[in-house]
Structure 1
Amino acid sequence: MPGRIAISSARIRAKDLLGAETIACEFTAAPLTGLLAAGPWRTFRWYFGQRHYSGSYWAATEKDLVIFESRLELASLLAADFDPGVSRIVAQPFLMTAQVDGIERRHVPDFLLLTGSGPLVVDVKPAAMLSKDEVAFALGWARAVVEDRGWRYEIWSEPSAARLENLRFLAGYRRSWLFDPVLLTRVQAGFEDGMTLGEAFGAGHQADARLVRPAVLHLLWSGSIVTDIDRPLSPTSIVRRAL
């Protein structure tokens, strides 16, 4: 747990997409619009034998590439991109500092998300590391600073195996421009709440089944229809209209 935190000492720095520092102020004074336009604070680490798996993922939410520094971050990025309540995703959005126990501490969160209930700062850590004192300390003071501003703060760890496999699979159908809007409308018109996924694949009103199946999976990705993604997807999965 964090020690004595001087909340008033908390500051924030952010860069633009070209790497120029554009924000340097008190944490509570940083404009949200500027942070949502920020480029990553850190650059990739590339070296022989590195333990981290870094890369870029094309996020449907951003319609652009978003970076990640580990496979667990990629899993979290998939989850954020799948969530219809998330409208923005910014990776490594800023550097935050604060005086804790009389020493200046530094931390770069993994993601800043804009959700329907406001900004959400996310740190991604393996569950096995959360009990380590240094990890709990760093995340504890970061949480205190973020929540003092009225924002939400969450720590994301490993998803269930079924959920991750489903997200990986459905992400293959995330690119909206590949799907005919007329066909999507026809599929939705033929859909009945509570039918199975297999039945939904036949809801295309005589449309080519080779096109209907991916259209249904795109509707699942986009949140127009929903199912329990914590269970392996199968033709017997129950599918419902989104609320």
Structure 2
Amino acid sequence: MSGVTARCGELWSDRCGLAGLCTQWAGFDGARGSLALADGWTGRWRAQWRASDASVLCAVRDLASIPTSRCEPVRRFSWRRGQRHRPGLQFMVSTGRHHGFESIAEQRLLLAVDFAGGVSDVLGQPFRLRFATGSGWREHIPDFLAVAAEGGLLIDVRPGERIGDDDRVCFTAAREAALAAGWRYLVVTGWRPHVQTSLDTLSAQRRPLRDPLGLQSELFAAVASGPRSFGDLVAATRLPAVARAHALHLIWHRRLGIDLSTPINDATKVWASPAGAGR
């Protein structure tokens, strides 16, 4: 991108993926020894899915063959008075529909997945994994399975300070199952500084936005020669107040770029994204 040079700690909005936005737990090696991974384990471990209100059982080696578009959460989301967590529904532009979550942490994850883009579907509570350890059989239900053209991304969400010994074993088992299916796996423990507030700001303008005044063309023209501050960028258009919404929309859709490692304000540098980066 013309005029922009990455510095240590920067997070370019038009280049980053989910893994760059979040902090992750990575203590798999310490728990892997607890799992029973002798020859043939992918045939012994099982995954229980739910499709058309019926249970579907498969070996872990066959995970990737399940048509996820027909599946539904294996465990229902519940709402009741006095519960400690806050479930709800999050709309995702990537899929064009709402997806259930069981906590604020999961809601933030869905927003970040939507911003990272490239997904065609997201299935909450996708399957119940039954896996073997040295002390017997156990079960774990991952939080989300994101489906993309390049493959699946299995995700668990848990604040780092709340990950206990049992969680470590379950997360490591989920990772082994994901790798056997050719998927990636993440345990999201939190977010890099300013990412949450920045995504909240950008998401206000993520839905389709009509541009009858041609302000988006003016924004692109204003950064054609190099980065400009957000305030100067919108001021270069005929209607700065309206152009603010369009600038946020273009940043969300990666047609303009900013550094997400700092708060979004009028001093934020904005640049034109490389060809093909937008969506």
User: What's the TM-score once normalised by structure 1's chain length?
Assistant: 0.87
Aligned residue number for residue 100 of structure 1 = 133
Aligned residue number for residue 112 of structure 1 = 145
Candidates 152, 155, 158, aligned match of 2:184: 152
Give the Cα–Cα distance (whole angstroms) in 1 for the partners of residues 197 and 116 of structure 2. Answer: 16
Aligned residue number for residue 27 of structure 1 = 60
Secondary structure of the structure 2 residue equivalent to 1:165: helix
Aligned residue number for residue 15 of structure 1 = 50
The equivalences for 1:167-186 within 5 A come to 167-176=199-208, 178-180=209-211, 182-186=214-218
Which stretch shows the higher mean deviation, 24-33 or 77-86? 24-33
Paired residues, number: 237
Deviations 1:179-223 (A, max 9, x none): 32754344334433411111222344x2x3332110110011111
* 1:39 and 2:68 are equivalent in the alignment: no
Deviations 1:16-41 (A, max 9, x none): 4xx51364222232455611442222
The amino acid that maps onto 2:129 is: M
Candidates 222, 229, 240, aligned match of 2:260: 229
| Percent of paired sites with the same residue | 27
The equivalences for 1:196-207 within 5 A come to 196-204=229-237, 206=238
Q: Is the 8 A contact 1:14 1:35 kept in 2?
A: no
Secondary structure of the structure 2 residue equivalent to 1:219: helix
Q: Is the 8 A contact 2:42 2:60 kept in 1?
A: no
* 1:137 and 2:172 are equivalent in the alignment: no
Give the Cα–Cα distance (whole angstroms) in 1 for the partners of residues 211 and 55 of structure 2. Answer: 41
Q: Is the 8 A contact 2:35 2:132 kept in 1?
A: no
Give the Cα–Cα distance (whole angstroms) in 1 for the partners of residues 65 and 114 of structure 2. Answer: 20
Give the Cα–Cα distance (whole angstroms) in 1 for the partners of residues 177 and 247 of structure 2. Answer: 42
What's the offset of the Cα at 1:232?
Answer: 0.7
The equivalences for 1:202-217 within 5 A come to 202-204=235-237, 206=238, 208-217=239-248
Secondary structure of the structure 2 residue equivalent to 1:45: coil
The amino acid that maps onto 2:132 is: Q
Pair 1:39–1:203, CA change in 2 (3 A): farther
Pair 1:164–1:218, CA change in 2 (3 A): same
Q: Is the 8 A contact 1:191 1:203 kept in 2?
A: no
Structure with the larger RCO, 1 or 2 (CA within 8 Å, 6+ apart):
2
Which stretch shows the higher mean deviation, 27-36 or 7-16? 27-36
Secondary structure of the structure 1 residue equivalent to 2:259: coil
> What is the root-mean-square deviation in Å for CA atoms of aligned residues?
2.2
Give the Cα–Cα distance (whole angstroms) in 2 for the partners of residues 51 and 92 of structure 1. Answer: 19
Pair 1:233–1:151, CA change in 2 (3 A): same
The equivalences for 1:73-88 within 5 A come to 73-88=106-121
Q: Is the 8 A contact 2:95 2:119 kept in 1?
A: no
Q: Is the 8 A contact 2:223 2:270 kept in 1?
A: no
Give the Cα–Cα distance (whole angstroms) in 1 for the partners of residues 87 and 44 of structure 2. Answer: 33
Deviations 1:214-242 (A, max 9, x none): 01100111111121112111111111222
The amino acid that maps onto 1:172 is: A
